[in-house]
Amino acid sequence: MRSIISLLPSSALKFSFLLLSLSLASLLQACDGSGGSDAPAIEAQTGSASFAYRPSQSISSIYVVGGWNDYDRSAHPMTGPDATGTYTVELSIPCGEWGYFFLVDGVVTLDPEADETITEGEQTYSRLEVVCEGALPSAARVTLTVRQGSLSNERPSSGQGAFGATIDITSKGSLDALQITGTLRSTDGSTRSLTSSELALSASGDQTHATVSLSGLTDGKYNVLIEAQNGAHSSDILLPFWIEATPFSFYDGILYMAMTDRFRNGSTSNDSPVNGSEGPVNFQGGDLLGITQAIEDGYLTDLGVRSIWLTSWQTPPSRAHTDWIDGVEVHVTGFHGYWPISAREVDPRLGGADALHAMVRAAHAKGIRIVMDTVLNHVHEDHEYVLEHSDWFRRGANCKDDGGWRWDHPTEGLICLFDQFLPDVDWTKDRVSTQFLDDVQWWVETFDLDGLRVDAAKHMEEDVMGKLGTKMRKRFETAGTHFYMFGETYTSDIGILNKYIGNGQLDGQLDFLRFMDGANEAFVSDGNGLDWVAGMTKNSIDSFGDAMMVTFVGNHDVARFISKADDSNRNQTGNKWNWLPSVTTDQNAYDRLWMAMFHLMTTPGVPLIYYGDEYGEHGGSDPDNRHFLKTQAQMSDQQKAQLDRMKKLTQVRNSLRGLKRGSFETMWVNQDPWGQSAGNLWAYVRRDPEGDPKHNAVMVLNLTYNTWTGVGLHSNDGVKLTDLGWESGTLQDLLTGTEYVLQNGSVTVDVPARGGVILALK
């Protein structure tokens, strides 16, 4: 039985260029003539070919350049852009097989919508074939597409899931020799061939199509692979889909970020530290089996986790590099996963490919999505591609040299090195782009992954996100399942963050605007008041529109939140090696972390928990922010209590559609009666997008050290409770169960010190 994961297309780019028409007679001009030296010259046959290209940013010039006229770079300018931002041109081209590309502001760019490539000498081009009437095409290329409106996905009850789709089949040649097969891969990784009743081939008029019809499916993720063979040419289409009680959105649950080597040691048999490297920067034994155990024993599901982002599992070097941290010479390893040396190998220290397969299957069995950390800006100098194709990489100045100004420079930031042993990938070369994008597709398809987190997005050429987005969506969104992609662009510059969102690029980014704009300071040190937090939250939401931004209070690149919130440890959080923060014992710091998490879980975005923040793991700057995760037996009583209330908070969030997907509005921010105008009491609303009053939520957050009693929410507020469908009845604080009587659209509640209430209609 064939396995789906072994059937990845070998073509460098999965293209669908705009070629002529489905009917050869309608697009090719016939000619007639006889041979012989005395025969008159025969005019070359031609056909009409259409080209289209939509750039990800504004451009000054664009041409189609092809082999039919010896790659003349100025013969065929394209017109546009049209209302969709697309440039087009239709040309009359001699019949035959040709290579072509787009010349975009002088940069050679392969057609992202072409189906095949052609190599001439050492150059790779997009492939175009114009077929003359009466002649056979060089390959009877067959194309598979999902018919618009044909998808169906139902789940009336457990074990009764059903999926259906119609696949239209087209070819430049005859379909007389067409053969079609289908394979189903289930959540547990098992595969089987589709039966004749599940996959049927038929024709209607001039249209040939295949019908997929599956029933009796249990909950979980599935992949249907349809393969078509037409003579010497083959093609396939992958249909990933889920059967589940409620269609999933990445807004719906918590995104959990774990540094795999520091999370849980599932098996000591694969432990392999590097000799001579110090403990904090050496491999410590965490592995993929440890992640699997945390999924299966309920640790992550108890936290409301519905998606997991793991640091890169590609194999890193087995040697250390000398570095200076806080004036101390240390020998650092690639335990974090961001120094890959192989394109398609799972790190044996993490358990290898079998462990990754098992982890993904365990996650999918519980409805959890797996997001791959995608490192595309650089590789380690020991990487197989560096050894085989050194010209694919740039060697230049270190980003952090000379004061580090290159990190944020618009051009230097693209080509500088993260370190001297990390060659920079040269994305301006088509062969490089093709290979790295094919590698990403291989990872996703082989291991049945659900999304990508793209490392260092702003350090790559701007068209990379468009190329990546086009390739992933074309392959993995065929059956209506959303393939989520978000980037890391370490800046609070709204323009730069937005540059890589939408238009076929990323769905969103890590929301560094909200993280860096000072809103967290209201919780870290009682600095800014809640009026500032309300304004900055709204600014973030307004700045990114419908983008699926990932919101967070901490990550693997910054000091731990609770140490920054601890008055006795705050001054040490900039340190990495010496004079480091200690375990927090100040309850005020735990409460500050709690308020930040309350804000995170009750405002729009895809909320991220950086591993350990759920209980208040301490730490300074990298690498001190990457301690091994504590077991519950190792936690202090304060940490256990923090974990318990985090579980309750995430459960409440996951219980209300308004908290997961709803719009955001501020009702009011009070004027501090002690003279501070910033405010220390904030009421805000999340509205259910489906309009159900029972899925709306109202939050009141209290920044003070005292319980605030008799807080009124009235019908004359900026946002009225009656606007939510709350006229009368009982409101309940979902965190404590406390009930309040609602009369005439008004209610009075008590808000605990250093905390808040989440009110819903009972």
What pLDDT score does 140 carry? 55
Is residue 344 pLDDT above 90, yes or no? yes
* pLDDT (tens digit per residue) in 596-650: 999 999 999 999 999 999 999 999 999 999 999 999 999 999 999 999 999 999 9
* pLDDT (tens digit per residue) in 385-441: 999 999 999 998 999 999 999 999 999 999 999 999 999 999 999 889 989 999 999
Residue 163 DSSP class: E
Please, what is the end-to-end C-alpha distance for the chain in angstroms?
54
pLDDT level of residue 113 (50, 70, 90 thresholds): confident
510 φ/ψ angles, rounded to the nearest 5 degrees: -60, 130
CATH for the 5-130 domain, from 2.40.160.20, 3.40.190.10, 2.60.40.10, 3.10.20.30: 2.60.40.10
Question: What sign does the CA torsion over 393, 394, 398, 399 have?
Answer: negative
What pLDDT score does 25 carry? 27
**Whole-Å CA distances, 44 to 15, 20, 47, 95, 99:** 27, 17, 10, 8, 18
- CATH 2.60.40.10 in the chain, residues? 5-130, 142-243
pLDDT greater at residue 174 or residue 373? 373
* 3-state class (DSSP) for residue 261: helix
What pLDDT score does 69 carry? 85
Preceding omega of 423 cis (within 30 degrees of 0): no
The Cα 453–Cα 78 span in angstroms is 34
Exposed / middle / buried, residue 292 (Cβ in 10 Å: 0-12, 13-18, 19+): buried
Enumerate residues 6+ apart whose C-beta is below 8 A from 580: 572, 619, 620, 624
SS3 content of the chain, % helix, strand, coil (to 5): 25, 30, 45
CATH for the 142-243 domain, from 3.40.50.1100, 3.40.50.2300, 2.60.40.10, 2.40.50.220: 2.60.40.10
* 3-state class (DSSP) for residue 296: helix
Judged by average pLDDT, the poorest of 158-162, 169-173, 740-744 is: 169-173
- Strands 117-120 and 123-130 come out as antiparallel
Q: For the domain bounded by 254-376+450-656, which CATH number is listed?
A: 3.20.20.80
* 3-state class (DSSP) for residue 178: strand
Judged by average pLDDT, the poorest of 125-134, 257-266, 432-441 is: 125-134
658-761 sits in which CATH class? mainly beta
- Strands 178-185 and 708-713 come out as unpaired
* 3-state class (DSSP) for residue 145: strand
In contact, 79 and 88? CB cutoff 8 Å: yes
- CATH 2.60.40.1180 in the chain, residues? 658-761
Q: Alpha carbon 599 to chain centroid distance?
A: 23
- The pTM assigned to this predicted structure is 0.84
What pLDDT score does 207 carry? 84
* 3-state class (DSSP) for residue 230: strand
* pLDDT (tens digit per residue) in 45-104: 788 889 999 988 889 999 999 989 888 888 899 999 988 889 999 999 988 788 999 999
**DSSP-assigned letters across all residues of 7-69:** ----SSS------S-S-HHHHB-------STTSPPPPPPEEEEEEEE--SS--S-EEEEEGGG
